[in-house]
Structure 1
Amino acid sequence: MKMLKSIKMFGILSLVCLVTLSMISAAAADPNVCRDLPVSANPGDTITVTLDITLDGADKTVIEDNVPAGWVVSNPSGSGSVVDANTVSWIDINAAPGVAQFTYDVTIPGSAALATYTFDGEFDLAVAAPGVQPIDCDTQMDIVAAPGPRPADEPNVCRDLPVSAVPGETITVILDITLDGADKTVVEDNVPAGWVVSNPSGSGSVVDANTVSWIDINAAPGVAQFTYDVTIPGSAVPGTYTFDGEFDLAVAAPGVQPIDCDTQMDVIAGPGPGPVDEPNVCRDLPVSAVPGETITVILDITLDGADKTVIEDNVPAGWIVSNPSNGGSVVDADTVSWIDANAAPGVAQFTYDVTIPGSAALGTYTFVGVFDLAVAAPGLQPIDCETQMDVVEVPECPVTEYDPIVIEPCWNFMSVPFALNNSSVEFVLADINYTNLVYWNTAANNGTGLWEIPTEFEPLKAYWIESNESVDQMISSEVLEPLTPAVPPTMTVYPGWNAIGYTDSMAILPAELMLGSIDESYMVVIGPYDSATGMYEQVGHNGETGVISGIHVGTDIFDMGPYEGFWVYVTQEDTLAGF
């Protein structure tokens, strides 16, 4: 059997596999979804599909229905959603559907061939087995040729009701409309006294609490089905109830007629309380934690049949409990409890925090707890589900290796590729013998520029450093430790020549990409500087491509790399963004 598209999309099955219930009722295999289709329709019709749901034993909602290829779904009731043009779904892994019917509309293409078409859907309404099952009952319907002119007395409205429902439930009523010969719309339906109508489809309106209508004396209904919801009062007495409605779909005779087909439905008693031994407490723990960490423990509570609260949980020796939710109390350093002999917990979860000692040895640790949620037997029982968790090593942060910066004899034009953990010149150049270190500040001296002696190395700035040594020196990768976390750098560039650096420590990129943030503001970029020859290697011209002449190239092939410095000529103030 194929997996539901919507489950593939949202990863529902993987979540369902993690959900555990300790006990389920004997009826858990009973939930069902039964599709109700019209016998036939014409090309271009819009029909309503009804999914009748058997709720006994249902404790989750996974329903997906697929219509024939090329047909288009719309208007799923309740919390349904359109997955794609021919798929509709309802997904809630934490709750049963709540209503005994879902509906959705399907528009048949006007070009549909006359043939028998198949619907293909699946459902899973119970956390327990059997899992995903096919939607049954009606799986096929016929597309037939549109009828020719018929006598004007053939229009009809036929009501479709669930067989039964329980007090407090909301159901959907379907009015199937025979459109042959219809040329006006007068449809009114009345539900039993005290029941409340809502959500009439299309242009329908709520007349009063138990009456709904569709009125248009100038046009036929246009669709083959109307729907509306009805909420049955929680105080409704079990018994048989009658619906009473009328319609008139033709200007000609016979006039107002009663809505036929289903006129009655039964209200039956809701399910009684489960056995008193069903309450449960299930512990939810992280898989692992590290010494010194504080974790949150969740106690999932099955409230069915609960009429008192006695819950105590004990953490491993030396661990410290705190912050119990919902009136819980700390009994001692490693014990937390909730006690109320006169009332059930009232909520489906309690939580508390646990601090693991920083000195905790690595290994598997056990939680031990008990609960008693019912005055009747069986009495105290162990808290189940997860009883153990692992304490593991603190993960080491990844260490990235960076190349050293080579300082050659004479002048060097250099930059740092990121914000440094320690950016002071004194620290970075501690092992370097140099005679001069300067930075060109374009904005200084009223915009005429000024050479400055820096005290910090900053990304996106390029620095000139002069070495009188006869051999290469290296600024080691150990001192080029990046600041973590760090915001990507930005730098204001000003009209004139600006000394800029490069901020990708691992890759060489073209200037066209690296200088994209100032693309409208710069004309030329020059660099890198070759200390051995005392010359720049390339001159890049913004807006040009390929080799222009000699070292003059377009910025699409002007390479910029780590640790290098560049000159960029800017025509207006702008912001250069690093990576």
Structure 2
Amino acid sequence: MTNKKTKGLVVSTTSLLIFCACFIVGIGLAAAAPSVSIDPALVDGLAPGDPFSVDVNVDSDGSTLSALELSLEYDNAFSVTGATYSGLMGPQNSDVFIVQDLTDDGEISFAIADATPAAQAGSLLTVDFEVKVGAADGLYPLDLMDVMLVNGGDAIPGVVINDGEAEIGDGVVVPGEDPFVQIVADPGVFGEGDVFDAVVSLDSVDDTVSAVEFDMMYHSGALSVTGATYNGLMGPESTDVFIVQDLTDDGEISFALADATPFPQAGDFLTIHFEVKAGAADGFYDLDLKDVTVVDGAAPLPDLDVFDDTVELSSVPTVPPVEGIELMPGWSLISIPETLENASIDNVLQDFNSSVIDSIFYDNACTGAMEVPTDFEPLKAYWIHNNLTESVVINDDYLIPQVPSTPASLTLCEGWNAIGHTADVELSAEISLTSIDDCYSKVKGPWMPTTNEYAFVGYNGVEGVINGNHVGTDVFNMNMYEGFYVFVDEECVLA
């Protein structure tokens, strides 16, 4: 079985309610392109027997939507128990015709046609799942496939697909415990004309490998495959090592490799070269490994884990780093690593009146309250709201550390705690959170105001990239002025 794990402020009641709503459910963003998305993007904390549901959201971005079809692929750790059409395109009748196939075989299909089409945005379909008894802990993909939005008789171009994930248990599947194949793209945000690589690697643990075969799916409207390089893992291509690859730039590439003198294998075996196409819409794009088979002799390896990855495209140019703390429009999560000479909110935010920075809160896990601070305290993370439509900067002249000062510490309580970085240089969470290593299991952050989500989720005791933005704490980086949330199992002290 293959397991897809892929300053002085007047705080209004309105602003507090807005913050709480955003904090709990996330803030919706206007689409920059037509899109079909799984919502929520991550369902976590599941256990065998648990039911859960996801919505399939559609935004035609102003285009008239006359028909739609899609498939949703899921792992056999789940059963589909039903699906409900929302009525987005009108009630099912002679004008609205629906076909759906809910056969519980790892893929459901849905199609709808509307005789009186209009632009659409909202939830189209709610799919109900149940976690099967005996399902293993892990992070499992919910992948949208074969998606087509139709305007009249023409397919709407540039549709961005946002897949989802479901997490059973703590979601940690550690590469190396079972045989695995994974794809890992270069880190960073890429724009039009940029090139990047994605490396496919294999670890067969103790099993010999005589053949490997997979397909890799990507968004051909945004990305081009410009080539692929075999890395020689199983020896040079020769009469003993035979390679077949199809790099047709159509959204899917295929690769197969056979070795007449098999051995256990661990390492990179293929580097795929990409280029971002002109006009590619901003967003997150999946690199999905499909139909992955690793053969030992004549039999495929059982319990093979497969890890996908995601790349971010953005047309916003990279700008030099600012001197101080940049506050993007909307909510930011910031922190101060050291005691300041003058830590009062009035001093640090003296360049902004209450119409610019209109709210600031500390989420106190020990009291369960959102508290309005009078001073910035080290190691606490603060939610701060920039009411403008452009970025502003807290000048570093107001961020001068007190000398001498007592090393900061912060008591954390069971659950999710809002914390700051513990140093004035970038460090991994593995190093930065050494003082609480025995009591924390997860850390997430930094917060990204442009997408209203956390950039990474780090898992204590795990190394490297797990799946997408789920990583081990050895590669989860924490930097000065950034805020994070850490989950602790018991009261402990961060220092």
Q: TM-score range by the shorter chain?
A: 0.3 to 0.5
In the superposition, the TM-score normalised over structure 1's length comes to 0.29
Larger radius of gyration: 1
Q: What is the TM-score with the length of structure 2 in the denominator?
A: 0.34
Q: Which has the higher strand share?
A: 2
